[in-house]
Structure 1
Amino acid sequence: MKKILIGLLILLFIAGGAGAVYYFFFYQNPSESDEADEPMVEVSESAAFEEDLQPIPFTEYFVISPGVEVFAKPTFESQVVGKTELREVVKVYEERNRWSRVQSWVNETTGKSQWIYNEHLSLENPGDTVQERYRDIKQLIVRTDDFEQNEARFIELTDQVLQSQQCSQSDLEQLQGWIRSFNYPDEPIYYSYCGGLDVEDKLYINLDNGDIFR
């Protein structure tokens, strides 16, 4: 009987030792495969890129002349790529030889961007006095038919058209003024295109009674 008890104790001792070995060598030290199952935190490439972006410095200027042309390069010989309106606010990113670049990027292949001659820009908002308004509108419609004989009246009605937003500066710049209408041969009626170049886009003004109609 004693031998049987001693044998059982030996078996229990061996089993306990095996458990201890497992605890210290396996349970306390998980395998590499277990570590691989842990989730990894990924860093977004776009987020990292956004952190590197820096705002491009610029200075805001007012356009002080109507219908200022925008050039592809800082020279009058380059391509005209657009126009600005009087009192429009533009962002200047670079100044070079009395020219200002008003586009934040430059085409690396052609070297083209958007440039305005400095004479037409100012840090100060141009005043809207009666004299300035008269001068600006006159320059806008300088090629109007019969302009010299009716200058003041044309400027008065053009001002009304602009104030009522029936026509914009860019609209009037297409023809640089008003054209005498042959549909009304006995009346001093003139037209320009406002909002497009179709027949229905014609806007008429009557110098005698001041009517504005389509």
Structure 2
Amino acid sequence: MKKIMMVGLLLLGIALAAGGYYVFYFKPAQEVSAHNTTSAEAPVKTNVPVSPPTPKPIPDVTDYYVSPAKLGVREHPKKDAFIESVLYRGDKVYVLEKRDGWGRISPYYVYHEGEEEVAEWVPMDALLEVPPTITKQQRIETISSYIEGSDDFKQYFDVFIATTDDLIREGICMPPDFEELKGWVKSVKYGQDVYFVYCGGLKQANKIYLNVQTGKIFYR
């Protein structure tokens, strides 16, 4: 009986020893080996230079505003080319082409068959990308340049300036309307206190009268 018990205890001891070996030695060794194998198989990361994104091209500016009080529009991109029209401070233009410091603001056209093509050109250094800031004094000087040939201009300067400015702002008249007659003309029909100008044409319906004493305009 004792021998049987001793054999059982011996077998139990062997089983416990085998379990301890597996838990404390064999299994940890397997885990370490598996980790090393995985680490060895993992790809090695390298610092690969990344190209910066290509910047988007900046769109070319096409909308501009006239800076000087008056700007001659020429048939060719030359300072001595014929002036066919005039632009005024604050006028907006669309530049179709830029060449040697000049901007083309109209399509090409031909006056007569067989003649060379012409277009409307303005110097780029006379244009701004934003509307110009016009002070009160600059506005007065600009308006004055349109009507400085008016009859009795110095005597009725203030009322001429104020009325002309109002008519232009309201779209009733344009600067060329005043330049046609060099400003306000004294009326023979209505007497010394009344002056007139044509706006939009040279017919009676286009004639605007101004009473310089009251500052009021009227039509016939």
TM-score range, shorter chain: 0.5 to 0.7
Q: Does structure 2 conserve the Cα–Cα contact (< 8 Å) formed by 1:172 and 1:193?
A: yes
Q: Does structure 2 conserve the Cα–Cα contact (< 8 Å) formed by 1:67 and 1:170?
A: no
Could you say which residue in structure 1 is the equivalent of 2:89?
Answer: 86
1:69 alignment partner, SS class:
strand
TM-score (norm 1): 0.63
Could you say which residue in structure 2 is the equivalent of 1:204?
Answer: 209
Could you say which residue in structure 1 is the equivalent of 2:186?
Answer: 180
Q: Does structure 2 conserve the Cα–Cα contact (< 8 Å) formed by 1:65 and 1:136?
A: no
Task: State the shift of 1:104 in Å.
Answer: 4.8
Deviations 1:52-104 (A, max 9, x none): xxxxx652210123453211112343333333343221122344454322225
Could you say which residue in structure 2 is the equivalent of 1:43?
Answer: none
Tell me whether 1:164 sits opposite 2:170 in the alignment.
Answer: yes
Task: State the shift of 1:142 in Å.
Answer: 1.9
Q: 1:197 to 1:66 in 2, by over 3 A?
A: farther
Consecutive unaligned residues in structure 1, runs of 5 or more: 1-56
Cα distance in 2 between the residues matched to 1:145 and 1:97: 43
Tell me whether 1:134 sits opposite 2:137 in the alignment.
Answer: no
Tell me whether 1:72 sits opposite 2:75 in the alignment.
Answer: yes
Q: Could you tell me the percent identity over the aligned residues?
A: 30
Counterpart AA for 2:119: S
Consecutive unaligned residues in structure 2, runs of 5 or more: 1-59
Higher Rg:
2
Cα distance in 2 between the residues matched to 1:135 and 1:114: 26
| Candidates 116, 140, 150, aligned match of 1:144 | 150
Task: State the shift of 1:152 in Å.
Answer: 2.1
Tell me whether 1:153 sits opposite 2:176 in the alignment.
Answer: no
Counterpart AA for 1:102: I
TM-score (norm 2): 0.61
1:148 alignment partner, SS class:
coil
Aligned pairs for 1:31-70 (under 5 A) are 59-70=62-73
Could you say which residue in structure 2 is the equivalent of 1:16?
Answer: none
Aligned pairs, how many?
158
Counterpart AA for 1:138: S
